[in-house]
Structure 1
Amino acid sequence: MSGTFAFHNIYTTKNEVENIQTVLHEGNESGEGTMRRFEVAPGIQITYNDLKMDSCFRPIRFEKDFLQINHCLEGCYECELEGGSVSFLGEGDLCVDYLSKDRQVFLGSRIPLKKYRGITVLLEMETAQQTLDQGFQQAHISLEQIKERLCSDGRSLIIKSKHEIDHIFSELYSVDERIQVPYFWIKVIELLLFLSLLDGSAVCRPQQFSADISKRTQEVYQYIIENPFTKDTIQDLACMFGLAESSLKRCFKSIAGASIGTFIKTKRMEAAAELLVSESALSIGEIGSVAGYENQSKFSAAFKSVMGVTPQAYRHKYC
C-alpha cells in the first residue's frame, strides 16, 4: 500500500491522541475514513483502517526501511504498479510489502468500491528487530529473512484460504479494548512466527490487470448493483463492456472477493428480499418470477442458499 495507512504524518486533518492510540481522520471530496493506530512496542504499530472513499493515497519518501503487513476484512484496495498495471488486495487477503527508502514500488492506489476495512501491521525494520531480539529472543524471528523470502521481488500476496491467517486476524478484529496492547504484542509475534515458516508454495504473486480492464470491470460491478434482476449472462456483460470473458471473471473476483456468478446471485437474492418486505401484495412466486425463477421451489432454494432462510420465513420475520 506504499505507506498509505501507516504514516501518520501524511494525514494533516484532525488528530485525537488517547494514550498510545492515535485516531486519524481523513476526508476529501470522495468520502472519508478513519484509522486507529496503536504503538505496540518500539518500531511496531498496528492500525485499524475503515475507509469509505475513492482514495487517500499520497506519495511519500521513506527515510527508513519498513515491513508492512496488510489484511483485508471487507472491500478491496487497488494498487497502481510500475508500467501502469494494477493489482488488488481483496477480502480475506494478506499481503506483505517491503517499503524501502531506495525504491518506490507503488505509484498510486484507489478504493474501487469506496469501501475498505482491514488491519495494517507496520514494522520499522531496524528498531522492530531490536525490540524482537530484546523482548522475545527465544523466537529467533528475523525480519530480514521474512523480507527476503516473501518480498525479494516486490510485493507478495499470501493465499487467503490459509486457516492460520483467518485465525490470527479474526481475533485481532474482536479483541477486548481492556487488553488490546498486550494482546497486540502476542498476535504480532504469532503472525511473524507464522510468516517465518512460510515457503514458496504458500506465496503467490498478485494478479495484475491493465488499468482499462480494471475500470471496465468496476463498471460491470456497478451495473450489477444497479440492475440486480438483470437477465444478462456473464458472456453478455463481457461483450457489453468490451472485455474478454476470462479477464472479466479474473478481475471481478479480485475486486469483489467472489466470482461474478456468485455475486450476481447474491445481489439478486438481496433485492428479492427487499421486495418480500416492501411489496407484501406480491406472492412469493411472483417475486421469484421477477428474480428470474419460473419455478417457486427453485427460487426458494436459491434464496435460502444466500439468505439462510426461505422466502416465507424471511417475509414472516420482517413483515
Structure 2
Amino acid sequence: MKEEGFGQARGILLAKSDGCSVYQFRNETGDGTMTCYEVFPGAMLSFNDFHVKYFDSEYVPGRNMFVIDHCREGKMEYLAVENAYAYVGAGDIKMDRRLTHTGRFVFPSSHYHGLTIGFDMEIAAAALAEEVKDFPVDLIKLQEKYCPGRYPNLIHEKGAAEHIFGELYQVPEKIRIPYFKIKIMELLLYLDALELPKEQEERPYYYKTQVEKVKAIQAFLAEHMAENYTQEDLSVRFEIPLTGMKNCFKSVYGMSIGAWLTDYRMNRAAEFLRADREKSVAEIAGLVGYDSASKFAIAFRKIMGMSPVEYRSAIR
C-alpha cells in the first residue's frame, strides 16, 4: 500500500497509530524514513532520516501550503531558480510552498537528517485561532513574509531558532504531541518577530552545468585517489573557472576539495586496513595517494582519531 507523506515524496506506509505515521522510501542507492505526527488540524511535523544518494518526488501540493524544513545533518540539493541549484546544510532553515517539489532531490553526502513542519493553510490558519486564543501570529502573513515567490527561501539564523529546533529532536513519547504544539507556536512567534534585512544576503546558487562539472570532479578524484592533481589541473581539465569550482564544490559537498579528498582517502584506507591485513601501512598509503607513510599516518590520525596501526589492531 502506498501513501503520501505530508509535503514530501510518495512512500510506503509502514505503520500508523495515534496520529503517527511512518513512511519508507527506497531505491537502488539506499532507503529513508519519515515519521509524521498530526500536531493539530492542518499542521504536521515529520522527522526525516535518509541514507540515499537521491530520491524522486512525485509530490504535487494541490493545496495552499507553508512548509518549514530544518536540516540537522547532511546536505540536500534543491532547485533555487530555473536550471540552478542551491544546498541546504546543517542548521539551515528552508521555507517554501512546495511549488517546485516534484522531481529529483540529491543528497551529496548520501545522507540527510532533519525535520519538516507543514501547514495546510486553509485548515491550519483557522485551527490556530482555536488552539490558542488571541494568538498574535497571522499564518497567512507569515507565509507571505517568507515565501513571496515560487522558489524556496533559505535562512541561516542559528540562534534562538536552532535552540527551538534542537529541542524537538528528543522528546519523551508520552508528551510528544502537546510538546510539539508548544514548540511550533514558539517557532511561529520567533519567525513573526524576526526582522529580515532589507537587502538579504543571497544564498549562492549554481547553474546546472556548474553542478554537473563539480560532481564529475568529485567522481574523478574518487576514481584517481592514488594520483595527485592540483586544483588548477582540475579547473583546466573540466573547463570550469578556479574560484567558481572551489565555491561550488564547497556548497555541494560541505567542505573544500582538499578536505573532501583527504576524508575520502582516509575512509578508503580504513577499508583497506580492515579487509587486507597482508598489505603494509606503507603500501596502503601508496594506494590512497601518499608517498610518505609518516605523512599518511598523520592524516589518518587526524580523521580517524588513531594511527593506522592502532586502527588495525582495534578491529581484530
Q: State which of 119, 122, 126 in structure 2 corresponds to 1:123.
A: 119
User: What is the rounded CA distance, in whole Å, between the counterparts of 2:148 and 2:191 in structure 1?
Assistant: 14
Q: CA deviation at 1:281?
A: 4.1
2:83–2:208 CA contact under 8 A, matched in 1: yes
Partner residue in 2 for 1:275: 272
Which region of structure 1 is more displaced relative to structure 2, 117-126 or 73-82?
73-82
Q: What's the secondary structure of 1:206's corresponding residue?
A: coil
Partner residue in 1 for 2:186: 190
Q: What's the secondary structure of 1:237's corresponding residue?
A: helix
Partner residue in 1 for 2:82: 83
Distance 1:112 1:186, change over 3 A: same
Residue 60 in 1 paired to residue 53 in 2?
A: no
1:81–1:105 CA contact under 8 A, matched in 2: no
2:43–2:117 CA contact under 8 A, matched in 1: yes
User: What is the rounded CA distance, in whole Å, between the counterparts of 1:200 and 1:163 in structure 2?
Assistant: 14
Q: What's the secondary structure of 2:277's corresponding residue?
A: coil
Q: What's the secondary structure of 1:79's corresponding residue?
A: strand
User: What is the rounded CA distance, in whole Å, between the counterparts of 1:270 and 1:70 in structure 2?
Assistant: 30
Partner residue in 1 for 2:214: 217
1:91–1:257 CA contact under 8 A, matched in 2: no
Residues 44-95 of structure 1: per-residue CA shift (max 9 Å, x gap): 10112234363322252533x2221112234433333553222222344221
Partner residue in 2 for 1:98: 97
User: What is the rounded CA distance, in whole Å, between the counterparts of 1:207 and 1:145 in structure 2?
Assistant: 26
User: What is the rounded CA distance, in whole Å, between the counterparts of 1:12 and 1:284 in structure 2?
Assistant: 45
Residue 260 in 1 paired to residue 254 in 2?
A: no
Distance 1:238 1:174, change over 3 A: farther
Query: What is the letter of the counterpart of residue 266 of structure 2?
Result: M
Distance 1:243 1:305, change over 3 A: same
Point out where structure 1 has 5 or more consecutive residues left out of the alignment.
none
2:20–2:37 CA contact under 8 A, matched in 1: yes
User: What is the rounded CA distance, in whole Å, between the counterparts of 2:132 and 2:226 in structure 1?
Assistant: 56
Query: What is the letter of the counterpart of residue 110 of structure 1?
Result: F
Partner residue in 2 for 1:110: 105
Q: What's the secondary structure of 1:70's corresponding residue?
A: strand
Residues 171-207 of structure 1: per-residue CA shift (max 9 Å, x gap): 4334333432223223323332332333335964332
User: What is the rounded CA distance, in whole Å, between the counterparts of 1:85 and 1:287 in structure 2?
Assistant: 40
User: What is the rounded CA distance, in whole Å, between the counterparts of 2:33 and 2:261 in structure 1?
Assistant: 30
User: What is the rounded CA distance, in whole Å, between the counterparts of 1:72 and 1:5 in structure 2?
Assistant: 18
2:44–2:118 CA contact under 8 A, matched in 1: yes
Normalising by the residue count of structure 2, what TM-score does the alignment of the two structures yield? 0.81
Residue 301 in 1 paired to residue 298 in 2?
A: yes
Query: 1:43-58, aligned counterparts within 5 Å?
Result: 43-51=42-50, 52=52, 54-58=54-58
Q: What's the secondary structure of 1:55's corresponding residue?
A: strand
Query: What is the letter of the counterpart of residue 48 of structure 1?
Result: F
User: What is the rounded CA distance, in whole Å, between the counterparts of 1:221 and 1:236 in structure 2?
Assistant: 14
Identity of aligned residues (%): 30
Query: What is the letter of the counterpart of residue 264 of structure 1?
Result: L
User: What is the rounded CA distance, in whole Å, between the counterparts of 2:30 and 2:302 in structure 1?
Assistant: 34
Which region of structure 1 is more displaced relative to structure 2, 168-177 or 255-264?
168-177
User: What is the rounded CA distance, in whole Å, between the counterparts of 1:218 and 1:296 in structure 2?
Assistant: 30
Distance 1:302 1:15, change over 3 A: closer
Query: What is the letter of the counterpart of residue 277 of structure 1?
Result: R
Point out where structure 2 has 5 or more consecutive residues left out of the alignment.
none
Query: What is the letter of the counterpart of residue 266 of structure 1?
Result: D
Residues 219-273 of structure 1: per-residue CA shift (max 9 Å, x gap): 2233334444441233323333332222222222222222222211111111222
Query: What is the letter of the counterpart of residue 20 of structure 2?
Result: Q
Partner residue in 1 for 2:243: 246
Query: What is the letter of the counterpart of residue 299 of structure 1?
Result: F
Residues 126-184 of structure 1: per-residue CA shift (max 9 Å, x gap): 43334444434576333344334333344221116x24444333443343334322232
Q: What's the secondary structure of 1:300's corresponding residue?
A: helix
Q: What's the secondary structure of 2:268's corresponding residue?
A: helix
User: What is the rounded CA distance, in whole Å, between the counterparts of 2:112 and 2:92 in structure 1?
Assistant: 12
2:7–2:67 CA contact under 8 A, matched in 1: no
Which region of structure 1 is more displaced relative to structure 2, 23-32 or 70-79?
23-32
Distance 1:11 1:296, change over 3 A: closer
Which region of structure 1 is more displaced relative to structure 2, 104-113 or 208-217?
104-113
Decide which structure has greater helix share.
1
2:75–2:90 CA contact under 8 A, matched in 1: yes
Distance 1:82 1:269, change over 3 A: closer
